[in-house]
Amino acid sequence: MTNPDRFIIEYIAANADERGEVASRACIAAGEEAGFTERAIVKARHQARSKIGTRKAGWRFDGVPGRGSGWIWYLLFDPAELREAGA
Question: In the predicted model, what is the mean pLDDT of residues 4-8?
Answer: 94
- The predicted pLDDT at position 16 comes to 94
Query: Whole-model pTM?
Result: 0.80
pLDDT at 50: 93
Residue 85 lies in a domain: no
- On average, the pLDDT of the chain sits at 85
**pLDDT at 65 (0 to 100):** 47
* Distance, CA of 52 to CA of 45 (rounded, Å): 7
Q: Per the domain annotation, does 86 fall within a domain?
A: no
Question: Is residue 67 in a domain?
Answer: yes
pLDDT tens-digit map of 27-68: 999 999 999 999 999 999 999 999 999 998 865 555 554 555
Range of the domain at 50: 3-79
Number of domains in the chain: 1
Q: When comparing pLDDT for 84 and 37, which is higher?
A: 37
Q: Residue 14's domain is classified under what CATH number?
A: 1.10.10
46, part of any domain = yes
Asked if the structure places residue 87 within a domain, the reply is no
Distance, in Å, from the CA atom of 9 to the CA atom of 2, rounded to the nearest integer, reads 11
Residue 70, domain member (yes or no) = yes
